[in-house]
Amino acid sequence: MLIHLKKDILLEEAKKIADELKAVLIEKDEIVLVTPSKLQELPAHLQSKVSLAVAVPNDIQLASRKYKDEVRSIKFSNFEIGGESNSTVMISGPCSVETEEQIEQAAKFCLEQGVKVLRAGCYKPRTSPYSFQGLGLEGLKLLAKMREKYGLHIITEVRDASHIEEVIEYADIIQIGAKAMYDQGILRRCGKARKPILLKRGFGSTLQEFVQAAEFILSGGNDQVILCERGIRTFETNTRFTLDLCGISFLKENTNLPIILDPSHAMGYAYGVADLSRACVAMGVEGLLIESHPRPKEAWSDAAQQLDFKQFAALNASLKAVANAVGRQMT
């Protein structure tokens, strides 16, 4: 149950009520208690202290449509994802920051294409310890330079707790990757951050587990969470993963969090990314994340799936009509 306490309740008293109800206390402009979802009725003696109580049937609570029947608006700098804008935001850039020349080419290309959010990883969660692991802090500094020079917003991922403070400091949006979705240390620290978090779905996790991971961030007090579907593992091996568009319908119906779709990691091969991207935009989601690279064949990670600039430009030009057909616009 979600309980908004009346504004005149003192923090000490709120803490006592939270203890009694075994609730998580979120202190913002008003105090909100989130109890285990087993509690379905407000105890009578608390009625006078509460301005709003919402019972939800399971532990999708702060993210649920029952609590907030609208898509949350994620605002940073002069930019918005979600809310009532009916916009589908394009996020693009290479898998990894490799060199200054490479990331600068990518940044300039984004600018030319009207893409306002540049993505690239600096701490890469690779499957093998012998693959390129990312440039680390040097990469974050190069991204900051691109933001400064080209006025782009920067999204980059946190791989583990060792560099989380650096990523929070440098990024405009902090990405939690599929492999880190269950990392409680990262989730809890991001709950205390005051920047938007893009949470990717673990490729072996259910929708319920995915949204519950988002609840860790939300219940930490950070209400700026974006969900990202990037493909799940199925029995199929011809594509890298399977993009769960049924899951997107579930998330739209049941959660109030903006949704970004990532067809690049799902497909794993550049040839499928354009068709999938159009399907994603037709789903009426808040954003798309597409990997692009000046020379994909030479990329230091995810070489097979990144679009070259010609492929990206053709795709980008085709998306406006798809977005318009479902009452949205690309930004």
Contacts with Mn ion by CB under 5 A lie at: 95, 302
CB of 326 to Mn ion, least distance (A): 27
Report the partner that residue 178 touches, choosing among Mn ion, ligand PEP, none (CB closer than 5 to 8 A by kind): ligand PEP
Say whether 182 sits in a helix, a strand or coil: coil
Stretch that binds ligand PEP, among 42-50, 73-81, 172-180, 184-192 (CB under 6 A): 172-180
Give least dist CB 200 to ligand PEP, A.
Answer: 4
What does 177 interact with, of ligand PEP, Mn ion, none (CB < 5 to 8 A by kind)?
A: ligand PEP
Whole-number Å distance between alpha carbons of 203 and 210: 10
Min dist. Cβ of residue 155 to ligand PEP (A): 9
- The pair of three-digit structure tokens given for residue 307, joined into one six-digit string: 């679009």
The piece of 59-67, 174-182, 183-191, 270-278 that touches ligand PEP (CB under 6 A) is 174-182
CB 141 within 8 A of CB 171: no
Q: 219 or 306: whose CB is closer to ligand PEP?
A: 306
Question: From the CB of 284, what's the least distance to Mn ion, in Å?
Answer: 25
The DSSP string of 192-242 is: H-SS-EEEEPPTT--HHHHHHHHHHHHHTT---EEEEE--B--S--SSSSB
Q: Are 116 and 79 in contact (CB under 8 A)?
A: yes
CA distance to 83, 95, 167, per residue, from 135 (Å): 34, 12, 13
**Ramachandran region of residue 55, left (φ > 0), alpha (ψ -120 to 50) or beta?**
beta
C-alpha to C-alpha distance for 40 and 293, rounded to whole angstroms: 51
How many whole angstroms separate alpha carbon 175 and alpha carbon 265? 14
Residue 189 touching ligand PEP (CB under 6 A): no
Specify the residue, 25 or 146, whose C-beta has the smaller distance to ligand PEP.
146
**Does 167 help bind ligand PEP (rule: CB under 6 A)?**
no
The site partner of 200 among Mn ion, ligand PEP, none (C-beta below 5 to 8 Å per kind) is ligand PEP
Q: Specify the stretch interacting with ligand PEP by CB under 6 A; choose among 22-30, 53-61, 144-152, 176-184.
A: 176-184
Catalog residues that contact ligand PEP under the rule CB under 6 A.
95, 121, 125, 177-179, 200, 230, 265
